[in-house]
Amino acid sequence: MSEDIKTAVEGIAVAFEEFKATNDARLAEIEKKGSSDPLVDEKLKNIEADLDRFEDINQKLTLAQEQTKSMEEKLESMETMLKRPEAGLDTKSDDMEMKLFDKWMRHGEKGMDVEEVKALTVSDDSQAGFLAPPEYVNELIKTITEISPMRQIARVRSTTQKSVQMPSRTATFSAQWVTETGTRSETTGYTTQLEEIPTHEHYALVDISSAMLEDSVFNLEAEMNSEFATQFAKNEGNAFVAGSAVGRPEGVTTNSSVGTTNSGSGTALTGDGLIGLVHDIKTEYGANGTFIFNRSTLADIRKLKDGNGQYIFQAGMMLTAGVPNTILGYPYVEMPDMPDVASSAKPVAFGDFNRGYMIVDRVALSILRDPFTQATSGNVRYVARARVGGQVILAEALRTQTISA
C-alpha cells in the first residue's frame, strides 16, 4: 500500500472520530438550547469536507474489492467472443487492422488506397461509417467499466446480437411431507420463461483539430478512447439508475417489481429506515449486499445512529484488514445519478446487484468520420455509435428506500 493511501486511510479514521464527537456536541446543543452553535456547525462542515476528500480513495478501494472476482472474467469473456470466427472478426490481422483504422481516422478514405479501404469492416447500420477493430472496442469497454460504478457491481455480458434472452424462473417445486405409505400428490412445478434484454443505441461526438490529426506524435486512439468512454459511461450510468426501458436501459429505481422500504420520515433518511431496508431483503441476497447512493446522501447517512446510539457509518480498517468504509457493516458504492434525499424520492438502493441487474454490451462500435460539419472551425467530427442494454433480472435481489413516513 502506497504512503499516500496509508495517509488517506489514517485520515479517514481520525476525521470520522472527530466528526462523531463534533456531531454529538451539536446534537446535545440542540437538545439543550433548541438550536446548534454556529461555530460547531462550521467545524462540522469542515470535517465533512475532509471526509469527502478521503472518500474518493475509499471508493477506489471499495470498487477494487467489488470487482476483484468478476473483472477478469468479464474481460476474458468479451475477448473470447471477439475472437470467435462467427463474430466475423479476423484476430490474425489485429495489428494491421488497427493501423489501417488509425490511418482512416486521421486522413479519411482519400488518404488510403482502394485495398486499404476494402480491408476495413463497413458498418451494417444505416448511418454508414466503419466498425472499430475488436482491439479498439475491447479497450473502450474496459475504460467504460473503470469509469462506470454500476458495471463494477452488476453482471455484465457481451453479445453480437441486438438483444439477449435470459431464462427467468417463474415458479419452483414445493417440497411436501408425506408418510411412508401416503399419496404423493402433484406439487407446484418448476417453470421458466425467456426474458429478452434489448440493447439500445446511444452516440457520442468528438471534434479533433485537423492540426492535431496531422501530428504523428498525437495519440489519437487514446484521446478518442478516453472521450468516448467518458461520454458513454455518463449517459448509461443515468439509465442504469433511472432509465425508462423505452429506447434506453431500465433503471434500478424505476423497475416496479423492485420492492421498497419506507424511511420512516417524510423528509429524511433515518437509521431505523436503513436497518429496515437491510432486513427486508432475503438473507441470500443480503449476504452479498451493497448500498448505492450519491455523495450528498452519504453526508446525511454519516449523521445517522441506530437504536443504541451507535453511528451506522463506520470508518474502514483498510490498513489492517483491507475493509473499506461501511454502512451497517455493508460496503457502499457512490452512484452520482441516484436522486438526492427528498420527499417520495428513492435515494438509496441495497442488494446483490450481481444477481439482480444485468448489463449487455453489443460488441460492435461504428464510427463515422465527418470532415465537413466542423470544417470552418478547423476540426474533424467523429460520431461513435454503440448499443448497450440494462435490466433488472431478479427483482427480489434488490430493494430501494423511499423517503416516506
Q: Which CATH architecture has domain 72-165+197-250+358-395?
A: 2-Layer Sandwich (3.30)
Do 370 and 381 touch, CB atoms closer than 8 A?
Answer: yes
Neighbours of 320 (CB within 10 A): 8
* Model confidence at 127: pLDDT above 80: no
* Model confidence at 131: pLDDT above 50: yes
Computed over every residue of the chain, the mean pLDDT equals 85
Q: How far apart are CA 301 and CA 188, in angstroms?
A: 43
Q: Three cell numbers at 277?
A: 431496508
Residue 347's pLDDT band, with cuts at 50, 70 and 90, is very high
Q: How far apart are CA 2 and CA 192, in angstroms?
A: 50
> Between β-strands 332-334 and 290-293, what pairing exists: parallel, antiparallel or unpaired?
parallel
State residue 77's pLDDT score: 56
Do 388 and 359 touch, CB atoms closer than 8 A?
Answer: yes
The better pLDDT of the pair 168, 289 is held by 289
State residue 34's pLDDT score: 85
Sequence ranges of the domains in the chain: 72-165+197-250+358-395
* Percentage above 90 pLDDT, the chain: 49
pLDDT in tens, 267-309: 999 999 999 999 999 999 999 999 999 999 999 999 999 989 9
State residue 20's pLDDT score: 87
Going from the C-alpha of 50 to that of each of 14, 54, 61, 258, the distances in angstroms are 10, 6, 18, 35
Q: How far apart are CA 253 and CA 234, in angstroms?
A: 17
* Model confidence at 54: pLDDT above 60: yes
> Between β-strands 313-314 and 326-327, what pairing exists: parallel, antiparallel or unpaired?
antiparallel
* Model confidence at 191: pLDDT above 90: no
Q: Three cell numbers at 391?
A: 435490466
Do 63 and 324 touch, CB atoms closer than 8 A?
Answer: no
Q: How far apart are CA 381 and CA 371, in angstroms?
A: 6
Q: What is the mean pLDDT of residues 61-67?
A: 67
State residue 188's pLDDT score: 61
Highest mean pLDDT pick, 5-9, 22-26, 39-43, 282-286: 282-286
Buried (b) or exposed (e) across 190-220, using 16+ Cβ within 10 A? eeeeeeebbbbebebebebeeebbeeeeeeb
pTM of the complete model: 0.81
Which of helix, strand or coil describes residue 251?
coil
Q: How far apart are CA 389 and CA 198, in angstroms?
A: 6
Which of helix, strand or coil describes residue 138?
helix
Candidate from 179-183, 220-224, 318-322, 385-389 with smallest mean pLDDT:
318-322
Residue 81's pLDDT band, with cuts at 50, 70 and 90, is low
Helix (H) or strand (E) holding 114, with range, is helix 114-119
Residue 37 φ then ψ, to 5°: -75, 125
* Model confidence at 169: pLDDT above 70: no
Residue 319's pLDDT band, with cuts at 50, 70 and 90, is very low
State residue 193's pLDDT score: 72
Q: What is the 3-state secondary structure (H, E, C) of 18-86?
A: HHHHHHHHHHHHHHHHCCCCHHHHHHHHHHHHHHHHHHHHHHHHHHHHHHCCCHHHHHHHHHHHHHCHH
State residue 185's pLDDT score: 76
pLDDT in tens, 99-120: 888 889 998 888 888 888 888 8
State residue 227's pLDDT score: 94
Candidate from 82-96, 195-209, 228-242 with smallest mean pLDDT:
82-96
